[in-house]
Amino acid sequence: MTASISDIQTTANQIRENMNKVIVGKNNTVDLALVALFCEGHILFEDVPGIGKTTLAKALARSLGCSFRRIQFTPDLLPSDVTGLAVYNQKTQEFEYRAGPLMAQIVLADEINRATPRTQSALLEAMQERQITVDGSTKLLPRPFLVLATQNPIELEGTFPLPEAQVDRFFIKLELGYPSAAEENTILLRFERDEPLEHLQSVIDEPTILEMQRVVRTVRVESSIRDYVIAIVRATRSHESVELGASPRGSLYLYHAAQAYAALKGRDFVLPDDVKYLAPFILTHRLIISAQTRLRGRNAKQIVKEVIDSVPVPVEQ
């Protein structure tokens, strides 16, 4: 099939409506997750326990109609538990590859920061190269391939912070936040007698996702918008409170995110407001702020806001 921008908007609306059967009041978060999907990017959900990170990840996976595997990360999880391993077959007298949970299209890495750095690093090659290497043999992962990882920021005991290189490979970092009183009431009623997630059906198939990922890259980005993206990212590197700013990968991800977000809104061109809205979600987790800044009670989210406010917005000539 050949998809158009309007097809992407229609499909996004269908996925959002489908997920709303389970998720209450998180349309903006769902939209950002779809931006990552259409850009072939990975998602890091970080928030306090019990607010629906895993549920949202599962609802998204079920709505996409792709193969799905869940990995519960624990301190004793080994890299081979994630990638799979070669097992000797006595009948054939040969080693055979036994696939691990990474050999799926949608992978939910639950509580990713509970695994050791060695196991976390097993995801690096998969996330960036979309392949894994087992016993010297390289195996391509199925497409589309999307990692949905969750972590709890307040539970530090028994956790291992993600390496900077791995954090940088997450396309976007999302937070759900607490629901309003009305939304919490809806949640209680919705889950009173049944588990809606169990009845969720897919609304899109694999070939459609791949086609829409291709179409998103055709969204027009004017040179002034491109310069705006570059200026924002470069400003994070020169900010006095930042030890390490966003990488060129951050520039590329912000650029593609703006294309996907425009397509979700039914446009074949990017606006400066698209970049301005998406920048905090794409860049915040890529910054390493100084110790003095943290002692003053400031965080990366505030720094990114300052950067966005300091960079002139391009205007039409």
Residue-wise DSSP of 109-169: EETGGGS-HHHHTHHHHHHHHSEEEETTEEEEPPSS-EEEEEE-SS--TT--PPPHHHHHT
Q: Quick one: pLDDT at residue 122?
A: 80
Q: Count of CB atoms within 10 A of residue 182's CB?
A: 10
Dihedral sign (CA 277, 302, 124, 155): negative
State yes or no: pLDDT of 144 exceeds 70. Answer: yes
Q: Are 68 and 105 in contact (CB under 8 A)?
A: yes
When pLDDT is averaged across residues 18-47 and rounded to a whole number, the result is 89
Considering the chain, what is the average pLDDT of its residues?
A: 86
0.85 surpassed by pTM: yes
Q: Quick one: pLDDT at residue 38?
A: 92
Three-class SS state of 72: strand
Query: Which among 87, 90, 103, 89 has a CA at the least distance from the CA of 138?
Result: 103
Tokens standing for residue 278: 């998406």
When pLDDT is averaged across residues 25-34 and rounded to a whole number, the result is 89
Q: Quick one: pLDDT at residue 84?
A: 83
Three-class SS state of 290: coil
Q: Are 87 and 95 in contact (CB under 8 A)?
A: yes
State yes or no: pLDDT of 30 exceeds 70. Answer: yes
State yes or no: pLDDT of 162 exceeds 90. Answer: no
Residue type, 155: E
Greatest extent of the chain over all pairs of C-alpha atoms, in Å: 73
CA distances to 62, 153, 159, 164 from 287, in Å: 32, 16, 21, 9
Q: Are 1 and 209 in contact (CB under 8 A)?
A: no
Q: Cα 147 from chain centroid?
A: 7
Q: Any idea which residue has 């392949």 for tokens?
A: 131
Q: Which of 8-17, 217-226, 241-250, 260-269 has the lowest mean pLDDT?
A: 241-250
State yes or no: pLDDT of 42 exceeds 70. Answer: yes
Tokens standing for residue 37: 């999907």
State yes or no: pLDDT of 256 exceeds 80. Answer: yes
User: Residue 1 — pLDDT band, cuts 50, 70, 90?
Assistant: low
Query: Which among 101, 67, 107 has a CA at the least distance from the CA of 205?
Result: 67
- Could you give all domains of the chain from N- to C-terminal order, each with its CATH number? 5-212 (3.40.50.300), 219-310 (1.10.8.80)
User: Residue 216 — pLDDT band, cuts 50, 70, 90?
Assistant: very high
Residue 79 is given by DSSP the state: H
The phi and psi torsions of 213 (rounded to 5 degrees) equal -60, -35
State yes or no: pLDDT of 226 exceeds 90. Answer: yes
Q: Report the relative pairing of strands 106-110 and 43-46 from DSSP bridges.
A: unpaired
The phi and psi torsions of 315 (rounded to 5 degrees) equal -120, 155
**E-assigned strand segments in the chain:** 43-46, 68-72, 84-89, 94-99, 106-110, 131-134, 137-140, 146-151, 172-174, 242-244, 288-289
Q: How far apart are CA 28 and CA 18, in angstroms?
A: 14
